[in-house]
Amino acid sequence: MSTAGISFGGLASGLDTQAIISALLAVEQRPIAQLEAKKDSIGKQKSLFGDLDGLLDKLTDASRKLKTTSSFLSMKAASDDEDIVTASASSSATPGTHTVSVTNLAVAQFNHSNGYSSATESLGTYGEFTLTADGQDHVISISNPTPQAVADAINATGSNVRAEVVDTGAASNPYQLVIRSTETGTENAFSFSAVSGDVSGLIADVQANQTPAEDATVIVNGLTITRSTNSVSGAIAGVTLDLKSAPSPPKDVTITISTDAEEVSKNIQEFVDAYNEVVDFFAAQSVVNEEGEAQSDLFGDPTLRSMRSTLRGIVGGIVDSTGNEAFQLFAQIGIESDRDGKLTFTQTELETALAEDEQAVAAIFTDGTNGIAKRLEDQIKVYTDSVDGLIKTRVDGFDRRLKQTNTRIEQAERRLELYETQLETRYANLESLLARLQGQGSSIGNINQTQR
């Protein structure tokens, strides 16, 4: 630590002056070691509050999935014949059964030409035609027409019509121009007109070999519905029907809409797990070893005690606005709390409760005033708000204490360096003085011997 550049070893005094200095410095270093330990503890406390902030954010995310009735009561749709129609439900769907009969599937228009010897067989020297698609007329002119040139020109229009030359594998003239719409339904049909020049024969072939576009037709609860695609929404509120086949004669398919207890249970389990992680964090800060020594730098922290008590009070509270006294507490829907405040979830109990009164069960979480999800989210925001949240306030305090401690350490280290320099100088002067005295003593001794 010294900057004096002094080197000595107690040659005159016979003392280990360097050891003496080191011992004196060690005494003076104790306050610095204490400050370093304090700094380390403050850093750990700050880090632990950062960990808590992350756990509370996770709990907030889990609560939001259960905050509203539409998000809490996930719905599902089931078809009793998925070879004909499948169904999916959004949260806005209403439980019930519906009868569906598919009479026609939506089909895209498909045209093809007769065969050619190759994709590049020459059709002449010039050709022009108009392709009408997407409500627009696309005039196509080709100077050296071939089946492939016609296909490329159609694709270049950027319409919903695609063309390609297909090798059918026929013994003679295996190449056919295939033109199709990329979308189903009559509104996506296309046509050709104003044909002239040497593409006339090819376009005539294509027009003659056509599978027309068709709309999907489905009877839902006795009402005939027509759509341009095989995905039908709006026929049943909050439900999408995906048509797979149209048997002849038509067959009635039953679509059943119900609460998706599996999805609800999954979301509740995520909530329980997130809450228990917070509880485990609080518990970990209260652990002592066999000697009764705290194992956490946040042991006994009053902020944590207050937070733990508040959150526990929320999840254990009564929601008296559910409309059903049988379902106002977590314990009544399969969510139990143990003596340490951790939650356990029993799915079968939740499913039984949902079957009895799903709206009341949902309200325990989703009530706009007293719902546990809302109360948790509001309370956690008090803790985690990035501007004036409690955790932000504590972290800012830790930062100030760290800065102050660093300043005190730097000041103490400078004082220690100065003290070391002073000690080295003092002992060096002492050794020098002793060396001179010893030299003078020797000289006097030599004079006395000479006089004798």
Mean model confidence pLDDT for the chain = 90
pLDDT in tens, 366-394: 998 899 999 999 999 999 998 899 999 99
Rounded Cα distance, 192 and 437, in Å: 124
pLDDT, average across residues 26-31: 80
Select from 3, 1, 11, 117 the least CA-distant residue to 427.
11
Give the pLDDT score at 335.
97
441 versus 418: the higher-pLDDT residue is 418
Q: Could you give phi then psi for residue 246, rounded to 5 degrees?
A: -125, 85
Give the pLDDT score at 29.
79
Q: Is the pLDDT of residue 51 over 80?
A: yes
pTM, to two decimals = 0.68
Q: Contact 193/222 with Cβ under 8 angstroms? A: no
Handedness of CA 238, 243, 249, 254 (dihedral sign): negative
Q: Is the pLDDT of residue 30 over 90?
A: no
Rounded Cα distance, 180 and 89, in Å: 32
pLDDT, average across residues 181-199: 96
Lowest mean pLDDT among 90-99, 249-258, 426-435: 426-435
Select from 219, 239, 220, 222 the least CA-distant residue to 231.
239
Q: Could you give phi then psi for residue 172, rounded to 5 degrees?
A: -135, 150
Rounded Cα distance, 257 and 329, in Å: 27
Q: Is the pLDDT of residue 69 over 60?
A: yes
Confidence of residue 45 (pLDDT cuts 50, 70, 90): confident
Confidence of residue 440 (pLDDT cuts 50, 70, 90): low
Q: Is the pLDDT of residue 166 over 90?
A: yes
Lowest mean pLDDT among 6-15, 111-120, 348-357: 6-15
DSSP-assigned beta bridge partners for residue 243? 85
Confidence of residue 2 (pLDDT cuts 50, 70, 90): very low
DSSP-assigned beta bridge partners for residue 163? 179
Q: What is the 3-state secondary structure (H, E, C) of 279-295?
A: HHHHHHCCCECCCCCEC
Q: Could you give phi then psi for residue 388, rounded to 5 degrees?
A: -135, 25
pLDDT, average across residues 291-307: 86
Task: From residue 225, give the alpha-carbon distance in Å to each of 78, 149, 189.
Answer: 20, 41, 20
Rounded Cα distance, 359 and 342, in Å: 26
Confidence of residue 242 (pLDDT cuts 50, 70, 90): very high
**What percent of the chain clears pLDDT 70, i.e. is strictly above it?**
92
pLDDT, average across residues 123-149: 96
Handedness of CA 311, 315, 316, 317 (dihedral sign): positive
pLDDT, average across residues 160-185: 97
Give the pLDDT score at 450.
60
Q: What is the 3-state secondary structure (H, E, C) of the chain?
A: CCCCCCCCCCCCCCCCHHHHHHHHHHHHHHHHHHHHHHHHHHHHHHHHHHHHHHHHHHHHHHHHCCCCHHHHCCEEEEECCCCCEEEEECCCCCCEEEEEEEEECCECCEEECCCECCCCCCCCCCEEEEEEECCEEEEEEECCCCHHHHHHHHHCCCCCEEEEEEECCCCCCCEEEEEEECCCCHHHCCEEEEEEECCHHHHHHHHHCEECCECEEEEECCEEEEECCCEEEEEECCEEEEECCCCCCCCCEEEEEEECHHHHHHHHHHHHHHHHHHHHHHHHCCCECCCCCECCCCCCCHHHHHHHHHHHHHHCCCCCCCCCCCCCCHHHHCEEECCCCCEEECHHHHHHHHHHHHHHHHHHHHCCCCCHHHHHHHHHHHHHCCCCCHHHHHHHHHHHHHHHHHHHHHHHHHHHHHHHHHHHHHHHHHHHHHHHHHHHHHHHHHHHHHHC
Report the Cα 356 to chain-centroid distance in Å.
34
Rounded Cα distance, 83 and 243, in Å: 9
Select from 179, 171, 190 the least CA-distant residue to 148.
179
Task: From residue 122, give the alpha-carbon distance in Å to each of 22, 145, 174, 206, 394.
Answer: 102, 6, 15, 17, 82
